[in-house]
Amino acid sequence: MHLTMLALVFWRLASFIPTLIVASAILFVAVNVVPGSAALSALGIHATPQALKRFEHQHGLDRPLAVQYVEWAGKALQGDFGTSFQNAVPVGPEVRKRIPVTLQLAGMAFVVAIVLAIPLGVVAGFRHQTGADGVVTTLATLFGSTPNFWLATLLIWFFSLQLGWLPTGGYIPFAEDPAGNLERMLLPCIALGVVSSGLLIRIMRTAVIEVMSSNFIETARSKGVGDLRLVSFHVLRNAFIPFFTVSAVEFGFLVGSVVIIEDVFRIPGIGSLVLVGIINRDYPVLLAAAMTVTVIVLVVNLIVDLAAQVIDPRQVRTGHGS
Amino acid sequence: MTDPGQAAERLLEVEGLTIVLRHRRRPPAAIARDVSLHVNAGEIVGLIGESGSGKTMTAKSLIGLLPDRMEVVSGGVRFRGRDLLDGGDPGRVRGRDIALIPQDALHALNPVKTIGWQVGEPLKVHGGWRQRRIATVVGDLLERVHIPDARRRAGDYPHQFSGGMQQRALTAMALSMEPPLILADEPTTALDVTIQAEIIDLIGELRDATGASFLFISHDLALVSSFCDRIYVMYAGEIVESGTTDAIFNHTRHPYTRALIGAAPRLAGNPERLPTIPGRIPRPHEEIRGCRFRERCPEAGAACGEAPRLETAGGNHAYRCWYA
């Protein structure tokens, strides 16, 4: 079992390489195709044409795109992501500093989404076509179709401005002040998590309905297994298999939403760096931040896949069989 | 084997059981009509009919496992003199007093739990047993159903078992609480013919060893004739003939039973064409006046416009036909 698991991890890690190459190439092209000039953004609208030319030459922007890409990729592989066009600060350390911030935000928001989705999905699926199912399904649609920035604004207005319970935004590292960190992270995590839970609730509900219609559920009932035991021992683990697979995809969307939420709550994470990179046409910053997000999504997908493997014994080969 | 006699203990007694399927737009349709049957202690009783005859639902209603839209509207089920339809929790009876060996062995086990865990679950649910004691009993149970290397294979998952072994495991599971009655719902349909024979042998062997009674549900009259003491033949929700296996086979009264015997494939005769019963079984909501088999019956006559009652032909033998 452990051998096949290791082999799986190895192959999945190996598959990261082509994924990263394609993702970075697409990003590189997209960044350069978007209207706007890096030089103009860095030097301001009053810069002379000569100054703009000089800037572009200095940063190699006047060379063919392919050449720029190969040079960027070569350096990135060695951990050198270049310096910001805006202030000549090295990009690598800046991104690294922000990784834990975004990881905490996305991770906690994902937990919020899952903690909402599992019980609600189970109730709706188990009590399929009842009032409870109707309420949960309506909630899920409502959650899933709410724009997260709108929900974020609403939360700030209510909990921060009206009630004054929580700060409107900002960030304090957890190590410095755990309470301060959590009370600033709470609203953004809810805004992200609730919206993500919309899809996940429905996935969990469908998974539970699917499992409940399986023959082995009737077998369990014929043994005298009651509802509680039925759900906890027979339904949940089977329903988790499709649920986890889809939730990995949903995590990708969630990380995408981080860009806007970090801006709304003024959280200095990767997302706000992406935004800064776009607005300033600061290519090194944008590329480094976006690639970091890609790696985070890939790693989380791998972890979730491994979890699905552990849950489903059919996926893991063992020594004997018939 | 022929007639266990009236002295035997009445284990299960079903009296005038009627099950309906509720429908949003149509009036409720009867799945089983006025079904009466009984199982004595230590007997293997066959309940035979085509798919759609209501045999499986009749069995499921005994342990409260009818699908949502079906319900028992009249009749009684007594198990050892106790009323099973009194609205009490059927969970007490399930697995402990009446166990089920389900249909379709290949999908009847939970794919993410080990065989041993599932076989031992009734002990946990009904007996509150400790894990170690359960493991010992599970090993014994799996040995009893001839799983090779039983103790080690108890740790396997269902996908590591062949179809026949899964059916054996399901049989072991049904035996775990040593229930007096086991409902075997077409336990061999998903299996190869040779494996079928093994399962049938196993059930006979277990009856002899444990004294448990079996209600064996099947569409295959020839198959059950080899080991059932008595047989009930069901058609379109009704019992059309019942009696000892000998009476059903050698003194057949009902044309449907005769057709079923004729429909069994044999090696002798014309191998080009398998005998079938013409027509199809009526659906539950179809209104039928008179005998429900009339349209497919080769012997139907003028009297069949009126529904026949169950007549007794002496002993346990009864049939529902005007012309028998």
Q: Look over chain B and give the mean of its residue pLDDT values, rounded to a whole number.
A: 86
Which DSSP string do the residues of B244-274 spell out, in sequence order?
EHHHHHHS---HHHHHHHHHS--SSS-SSS-
Q: Can you tell me whether residue B44 is helix, strand or coil?
A: strand
- For residue B119, the distance in angstroms to the closest alpha carbon of chain A comes to 10
- pLDDT at res. B223: 85
Is residue A214 within 8 angstroms of chain B, CB to CB? yes
Q: What is the pLDDT of residues A88-98, one digit of tens each?
A: 889 888 899 99
Among A48-57, A309-318, B116-125, the least confident range = A309-318
Q: Is pLDDT above 90 for A27?
A: no
Among A35-44, B184-193, B208-217, B286-295, the least confident range = A35-44
- pLDDT at res. B4: 46
Please give the structure tokens belonging to residue B94.
Answer: 């399930």
Q: What is the pTM of this model?
A: 0.84
- pLDDT at res. B274: 62
CA distance A203 to A143: 14
CA distance B48 to B186: 10
Q: What type of residue is B222?
A: A
- How many residues appear in chain A? 322
- For residue A141, the distance in angstroms to the closest alpha carbon of chain B comes to 27
| CB neighbourhood size of A64 (10 A) | 8
Q: Which of B99, B111, B125 lies closest to A229 in CB terms?
A: B125
Q: Do A222 and B99 touch (CB under 8 A)?
A: yes
Q: Which of B92, B104, B173 lies closest to A215 in CB terms?
A: B104
Q: What is the mean pLDDT of the segment spanning B94-122?
A: 91
**Neighbour-count burial of B306, counting CB atoms closer than 10 A to its CB (0-12 exposed, 13-18 middle, 19+ buried):** exposed
Q: What is the mean pLDDT of the segment spanning B25-34?
A: 89
Q: How many CB pairs under 8 A join A and B?
A: 85
A71 in a domain, yes or no? yes
Q: Can you tell me whether residue B274 is helix, strand or coil?
A: coil
Single residue among A77, A109, A137 that ends a domain in this structure: A77
A83 in a domain, yes or no? no
Among candidates A292, A243, A308, A242, which has minimal Cα distance to A12?
A308
Q: Do A64 and A112 lie in a common domain?
A: no
Q: Do A216 and B109 touch (CB under 8 A)?
A: yes
Q: Do A311 and B111 touch (CB under 8 A)?
A: no
| Minimum Cα–Cα distance from B126: chain A residue | A224
Residue-number span of the structural domain to which A138 is assigned: 96-315
- For residue B275, the distance in angstroms to the closest alpha carbon of chain A comes to 32
Between residues A217 and B266, the one the model is more confident about: A217
- pLDDT at res. B3: 47
What residues in A contact B94, CB-CB < 8 Å?
221-224
Between residues B72 and A44, the one the model is more confident about: B72
- pLDDT at res. A320: 41
Looking at mean pLDDT, say which of A7-16, A123-132, B266-275 comes out highest.
A123-132
Q: What is the pLDDT of residues A174-225, one digit of tens each?
A: 888 888 888 999 999 999 999 999 999 999 999 999 999 999 999 999 998 9
CA distance B98 to B109: 19
Q: What is the mean pLDDT of the segment spanning B266-282?
A: 68
Q: Do A224 and B126 touch (CB under 8 A)?
A: yes
Single residue among A50, A77, A104 that ends a domain in this structure: A77
Q: Do A141 and A280 lie in a common domain?
A: yes
Q: What is the mean pLDDT of the segment spanning A226-238?
A: 92
Q: Give the count of domains, chain A.
A: 2
Residue to test with chain B: of A130, A223, A233, most B Cβ within 10 A: A223
CA B158 to chain centre: 24
Q: Do A230 and A260 lie in a common domain?
A: yes
Q: What type of residue is A196?
A: S
Among candidates B38, B29, B77, B31, which has minimal Cα distance to B55?
B31
- pLDDT at res. A203: 94
Q: Is pLDDT above 90 for B225?
A: no
- pLDDT at res. A316: 59
Q: What is Dmax (Cα atoms) for chain A?
A: 84
Q: Do A232 and A158 lie in a common domain?
A: yes
- pLDDT at res. B199: 84
CA distance B34 to A114: 50
Whichever domain contains A286, its CATH number is 1.10.3720.10
Between residues A280 and A238, the one the model is more confident about: A238
- For residue A299, the distance in angstroms to the closest alpha carbon of chain B comes to 26
Q: Do A56 and A165 lie in a common domain?
A: no
- pLDDT at res. B269: 56
- pLDDT at res. B266: 57
CA distance A154 to A160: 10
Q: Do A119 and A208 lie in a common domain?
A: yes
Q: Is pLDDT above 90 for B299?
A: no
Question: What percentage of chain A reaches a pLDDT higher than 90?
Answer: 38
Q: Do A224 and B92 touch (CB under 8 A)?
A: yes
CA distance B213 to B12: 10
Q: Do B107 and A234 touch (CB under 8 A)?
A: no
Q: Do A157 and A265 lie in a common domain?
A: yes
- pLDDT at res. B214: 94
Single residue among A77, A105, A124 that ends a domain in this structure: A77
Q: Do B170 and A223 touch (CB under 8 A)?
A: no
What's the pLDDT band for B285 if we cut at 50, 70, 90? confident
Report how far apart the first and last C-alpha atoms of chain A are (Å, whole number): 17
Interface of B with A (CB under 8 A): 63, 65, 91-96, 99-100, 102-104, 107-113, 118, 121-122, 125-126, 156-157, 159-162, 165, 170, 173
CA distance A189 to B5: 74
Among candidates B184, B163, B160, which has minimal Cα distance to B173?
B184
Q: What is the mean pLDDT of the segment spanning B197-204?
A: 86
Contact of A192 with A106, CB cutoff 8 Å? yes
Residue to test with chain A: of B66, B101, B114, B121, most A Cβ within 10 A: B121
Q: Look over chain A and give the mean of its residue pLDDT values, rounded to a whole number.
A: 88
Question: What percentage of chain B reaches a pLDDT higher than 70?
Answer: 92
Pairing of strands B82-83, B70-79: antiparallel
Q: Do A118 and A25 lie in a common domain?
A: no
Please give the structure tokens belonging to residue B289.
Answer: 């006046």
Q: What is the mean pLDDT of the segment spanning A135-152?
A: 92
Q: Can you tell me whether residue B299 is helix, strand or coil?
A: coil
Please give the structure tokens belonging to residue B217.
Answer: 């549900």
What's the pLDDT band for B264 if we cut at 50, 70, 90? low
A320 in a domain, yes or no? no
Q: Do A51 and A136 lie in a common domain?
A: no
What residues in A contact B92, CB-CB < 8 Å?
224
What residues in A contact B63, CB-CB < 8 Å?
222
Q: Do A224 and B113 touch (CB under 8 A)?
A: no
Q: Do B99 and A220 touch (CB under 8 A)?
A: no
Q: Do A143 and A60 lie in a common domain?
A: no
- pLDDT at res. B268: 56
**Complex-level ipTM:** 0.86
What are the phi and psi torsion angles at B203 (to 5°)?
Answer: -65, -40
Is residue A225 within 8 angstroms of chain B, CB to CB? yes
